Amino acid sequence: MLKLPEIPEAVRLKAPIHQREYLVGGELRTWDGEVSEVYSTLSDTQPYVPTLLGSIPTMGEPEALDALDAALQAFGKGKGEWPTMKVRDRIGCMENFVRRMETQRETVVNLLMWEIGKSRADSEKEFDRTIEYIYDTIAEYKDLDRASAKFTKHDGVYAHIRRGPLGVVLCLGPYNYPLNETFALLIPAIIMGNTTVFKPAKHGVLLITPLLEAFRDSFPKGVVNILFGRGRAVATPIMQTGKVDVLALIGNSKSANALQDQHPKSNRLRLVLGLEAKNPGIILPDADLDLTVQECLTGTLAFNGQRCTALKILYVHEAVREAFLERFVKEVDQLPFGNPWDSGVKLTPLPEADKPDYIQELIDDALAKGARILNPRGGERCENFIWPAVLYPVTKDMRVYQEEQFGPVIPVVSFTDMDQPLDDMAESNYGQQVSLFGRDAYTLAPLIDALVNLVCRVNLNSACQRGPDVYPFTGRKDSAQSTLSVHDALRSFSIRTFVAFKDNALNNETVEALLEAKRSNFVSTEYLL
């Protein structure tokens, strides 16, 4: 049985946060209805009792429709202040917001640790990466705007082409990156002139509350509306109105499909989705084993494997299977387990109370079908954690082969024919990334050429990851729709729209007058520095 680490007095929360305010139409409204308690699985009580962190409103259809209405009014059928605002002024609002957000670093990082059990180093990284993402988005938008500050002419027709907002965006993020991934949707959606309704993830919800006032004060009313409650209760009625223009969701394809199906006008609805994956690590006979072991440890177990980009299955060539696994399982069993604030910690308690039991089910199913646990500590339990089990040999009939585990368990398959992992990937419902470990150019070349057509990122001798955030983050099949990166997200949340006119004296005079009058924020050649 794993020992629960003690929680030092210094990191205990002073008092529970009973959040009663929510943001709709530019005001923080007070909720006096039903609430849901928020618990952390971090605890050192004997016997084990989860820690109460606070409570949040359990909202429903009326509040959801109010928030949608506020977003619709702020868009104002295209005439709203925000969608017609000068790019320079929209950027000013975003700069105000990010400066206010920076002041909340310590509070947000602390809540990240308590709510989702992410290590302090990774929680700080999540916060800082999000701030950087916002500044990079501002810089990228300036570039985009500069490139649009001109007229082009073809076949006697002038065009002034820019990117315009799509309308109302419903934004839902995941619990494993409740700040970064949610903001990687919300920030580009806002800055491009859309108006938004946003519901925080099921875990990592209190950490949004220190930012409500900054949202309220930085943007015109109704541009950002923030609700609390269950996705089913608030997102479903919003989708059913048919008035949402973009569903932006990072999470599970089942939730994405269910929500999409509620929208009665499928051609109106654009989708920006980052969904699940089962990224394989493929280890070739000439792989550098020291490096491969380290990358596979990070790939499979960073944040306990709770990453959409995690390596969720390892294909090890028979020629190096023994050598690789011998080193790998030793390293897995030596990983430091503790609370998020413990120095050097790698494995931490899981935020979902039922996750250890689910992982246990996957292990039991694999054992019953012929797999073994290779590491002595594999499957060791306490209430809020289960030690990662390295399972071998894993076969297609096992649940751990079929399901995205999103947690600490590592299935291993061995192979001799390179077509096996390729065929399995082609057959899979997922297509996000792969890690390929090896160095012979003649072996790697045809593999890379095939793999880039099965996934959207081939990581050579490196763990899979989303970052750096300037690179495209996307996937095939059930893994994604649209592309996210600092550059691509601005495009995913906007559409090219333009003013065109035939080259004649009347039009030229009219457009010159428009430019001179500086009354249109769209027809403008102003160069943003």
Minimum CB–partner distance for residue 335 and ligand G3H (Å)? 17
Minimum CB–partner distance for residue 526 and ligand G3H (Å)? 36
Q: Quote the longest CA-to-CA distance of the chain.
A: 85
Measured from the CB atom, the residue of 107 and 462 that comes closer to ligand G3H is 462
Residues 6+ apart with CB under 8 A from 92: none
Structure tokens at 441: 């150019």
Q: Considering only residues 120, 203, 243, 307, which one is a binding residue for ligand G3H as defined by CB under 6 A?
A: 307
Minimum CB–partner distance for residue 354 and ligand G3H (Å)? 19
Q: Does 177 bind ligand G3H (CB under 6 A)?
A: yes
Please spell the DSSP secondary structure of 218-262, one letter per residue.
HS-TTSEEE--S-HHHHHHHHHHTT--SEEEEES-HHHHHHHHHH
Minimum CB–partner distance for residue 511 and ligand G3H (Å)? 44
Minimum CB–partner distance for residue 465 and ligand G3H (Å)? 4
Distance CA 226, CA 234 (A): 11
Give the footprint of ligand G3H on residues 451-510 (CB under 6 A): 465-467
The SS3 call for residue 507 is helix
Distance CA 517, CA 455 (A): 50
Measured from the CB atom, the residue of 116 and 394 that comes closer to ligand G3H is 116
The SS3 call for residue 164 is strand
Minimum CB–partner distance for residue 35 and ligand G3H (Å)? 29
* Secondary structure element (H or E) that encloses residue 441, with its range: helix 441-451
Q: Does 296 bind ligand G3H (CB under 6 A)?
A: no
The site that binds ligand G3H (CB under 6 A) totals a number of residues, namely 9
List the Cα angle 348/351/353 in 5-degree steps: 115
Measured from the CB atom, the residue of 108 and 325 that comes closer to ligand G3H is 108
Minimum CB–partner distance for residue 288 and ligand G3H (Å)? 22
**Region binding ligand G3H by CB under 6 A among candidate stretches 83-91, 259-267, 286-294, 307-315:** 307-315
Q: Is residue 448 a contact partner of residue 442, using CB atoms and an 8 Å limit?
A: no
Please measure the distance between the N-terminal and C-terminal CA atoms of the chain and give it in whole angstroms.
60
List the Cα angle 399/400/402 in 5-degree steps: 60
Minimum CB–partner distance for residue 509 and ligand G3H (Å)? 52
**Region binding ligand G3H by CB under 6 A among candidate stretches 235-243, 301-309, 395-403, 438-446:** 301-309
Measured from the CB atom, the residue of 177 and 437 that comes closer to ligand G3H is 177
Q: Considering only residues 55, 119, 137, 176, which one is a binding residue for ligand G3H as defined by CB under 6 A?
A: 176
Measured from the CB atom, the residue of 80 and 388 that comes closer to ligand G3H is 388
The pattern of x and - marking residues 316 through 355 that bind ligand G3H according to CB under 6 A reads ----------------------------------------
**Nearest CA among 27, 151, 129, 112 for reference residue 340:** 112
Minimum CB–partner distance for residue 456 and ligand G3H (Å)? 13
Q: Is residue 173 a contact partner of residue 181, using CB atoms and an 8 Å limit?
A: yes
* Secondary structure element (H or E) that encloses residue 277, with its range: none
Q: Is residue 277 a contact partner of residue 312, using CB atoms and an 8 Å limit?
A: yes
CA 182 to chain centre: 6
**Region binding ligand G3H by CB under 6 A among candidate stretches 65-73, 292-300, 303-311, 518-526:** 303-311
Measured from the CB atom, the residue of 23 and 302 that comes closer to ligand G3H is 302
Q: Does 163 bind ligand G3H (CB under 6 A)?
A: no
Q: Considering only residues 194, 279, 309, 375, which one is a binding residue for ligand G3H as defined by CB under 6 A?
A: 309
Measured from the CB atom, the residue of 329 and 347 that comes closer to ligand G3H is 347
Measured from the CB atom, the residue of 40 and 180 that comes closer to ligand G3H is 180
Measured from the CB atom, the residue of 130 and 176 that comes closer to ligand G3H is 176
Minimum CB–partner distance for residue 482 and ligand G3H (Å)? 14
Minimum CB–partner distance for residue 441 and ligand G3H (Å)? 27
- Provide the 8-state DSSP code for 405: -
Q: Considering only residues 94, 256, 308, 373, which one is a binding residue for ligand G3H as defined by CB under 6 A?
A: 308
List the Cα angle 127/133/135 in 5-degree steps: 110
Distance CA 17, CA 38 (A): 9
Structure tokens at 126: 């999540």
Distance CA 522, CA 497 (A): 10
393 preceded by a cis bond (ω within 30 of 0): yes
Interacting residue ranges for ligand G3H, rule: CB under 6 A: 176-177, 181, 307-309, 465-467
